[in-house]
Amino acid sequence: MNCKLGETKYPVVRDLAAEKETLWINPDYGKAADLGLTRADLFDASARLDRFAPYMAVAFPETAKTGGILESPLRRLEAMQADVTKRDGYALPGDLYLKVDNELPISGSIKSRGGIYEVLKIAEQVAIDHKMLVYGDNYAKLNAPEFRDLFSHYGIAVGSTGNLGLSIGIVAAKLGFNTTVHMSSDAKQWKKDTLRSVGVNVVEYDGSFTTAITTGRALAAKDPSVFFIDDEGSKDLFLGYGVAAIRLQKQLRDQNIQVDEDHPLFVYLPAGVGGSPSGTTFGLKQILGKNVHAIFAEPTHVPSVLLGMATGMNNGISVYDIGLDGLTEADGLAVGRPSRLAGRVMKTLLLGITTFDDEQVMAYTAEMMDTEDIKLEPSAIAGFAAMAASQQYLSKHFNMPNATHIVWATGGMLVPESEHARNYKIGEALLKQSK
């Protein structure tokens, strides 16, 4: 590794290189900044999802009961709150909730927010350019054969560790696009199989996510009829995630959860490339303001967003540059280089980032099944690590007695039973050791 960088200028980098569990507090949190994105952008994205709701309801009948709007509940977690705080040995003032994005239709993950949004935006633009659609139409018409025929002249491509490919692949293929998903070696076999079964072209790489996305981007650039959805810097993906905040605000109100100076809200999110947690945090800050605070969680072997933000180098540095291997059981977080957008937009909006050992997420996965009968993938449960690691700091800096805590569960519904059983077995053994 670059010793000057690691050992003198940025002490935190030394801890990261040593794979130590770390809590990094953002020194620029709360400062003024020009974000380059506004609240109006969020409402524009939200309105587009509303226009597409009639299409989603007919094309994906499992979304019909919510009128074609993809949203997940906010669930109170009493049993898990008692169990996890006792086992991890800390007090958690206030109430704990789980945002169950593992139940989001289509990909069973948070990627149903950003990935699907960008596909729909592309479809709308193509249909409008061909004068086959106007904004006031009932978009259910997009489910007709003449639109599939139109979209078949265009390609959609994406690089993915798995879930982004699932959300984009399933919807793009349904609309009729020639769809290609470039998958990193970490991607689970069942995710590739699911995509192939709906007619998506899955290209596999021996290397990391960065290799898959870089190659995918270069291939797409050669063909003007192909739209490349860029997980390393797409504003549309980002805004699709951000719309969650508009929906969450209503869920909080409906459940009588106050958010103000005396009732701060803390949100704990796992970060891979950083797009989904940053987009969500951007939305939360726009909609709920200064009393909502976000903390990200990353594996000790892949602290890509933390490394980028702490050094200010953002996507100019990767975890490989400091000698890390980038390997983790949390396959959705196995991304060595952060997105171009995440660190820049989060510079003043993110409270902090923690890193965790893989054993932690495996134990939480089993504990969540035991206490709440909720099945999550290891990537999806990392918010619990951020919650545990940050309480001591939070108790010194915030008014905690009436706090609300939301662990953002990011995926799991489509995970095969055999995989859940394997995770449970590993996690259960770790739980026994730690109790």
Ligand X SMILES: *Cc1c(COP(=O)(O)O)cnc(C)c1O
Q: Shortest Cβ distance from residue 333 to ligand X (Å)?
A: 6
For ligand X, which is the closer residue by CB, 232 or 367?
232
For ligand X, which is the closer residue by CB, 6 or 270?
270
DSSP label at residue 429? H
Q: Shortest Cβ distance from residue 216 to ligand X (Å)?
A: 15
Q: Shortest Cβ distance from residue 411 to ligand X (Å)?
A: 3
Torsion sign (Cα): 366, 367, 371, 374 = negative
For ligand X, which is the closer residue by CB, 163 or 354?
163
For ligand X, which is the closer residue by CB, 46 or 379?
379
CA neighbours within 13 Å on the CB side: how many for 127? 27
Integer CA distances (angstroms), 400 to 227, 257, 352, in order: 46, 14, 17
For ligand X, which is the closer residue by CB, 112 or 404?
112
What is the three-state SS of 149-184? Answer: HHHCCCEEEEEECCHHHHHHHHHHHHHCCEEEEEEC
Q: Residue 329 in 3-state DSSP?
A: coil
Q: Are 127 and 430 in contact (CB under 8 A)?
A: no
For ligand X, which is the closer residue by CB, 109 or 390?
109
Residues near ligand X (CB under 6 A) are: 109-111, 163, 270-277, 332-333, 335, 377, 379-380, 410-411
Q: Shortest Cβ distance from residue 281 to ligand X (Å)?
A: 11
Quickly list DSSP for 51-116.
HHHHHHHHHSGGGGGGTT-----EEE-HHHHHHHHHHHT----SEEEEEEGGG-TTTSBTHHHHHH
For ligand X, which is the closer residue by CB, 163 or 390?
163
Q: Shortest Cβ distance from residue 275 to ligand X (Å)?
A: 3
Q: Shortest Cβ distance from residue 154 to ligand X (Å)?
A: 25
For ligand X, which is the closer residue by CB, 10 or 209?
209
Q: Shortest Cβ distance from residue 74 to ligand X (Å)?
A: 17
**Chain position whose Cβ is nearest to ligand X:** 272
Two structure tokens written together for 352: 């902090």
Q: Shortest Cβ distance from residue 385 to ligand X (Å)?
A: 13
Q: How far is CA 247 from the centre of its chain?
A: 16
**Residue 122: enclosing H or E segment and its boundaries?**
helix 111-129
DSSP label at residue 4? I
**Residue 358: enclosing H or E segment and its boundaries?**
helix 358-372
Across the beta sheet with 95-100, what order do the strands follow? Answer: 23-25, 352-356, 292-299, 265-270, 404-409, 95-100, 74-76
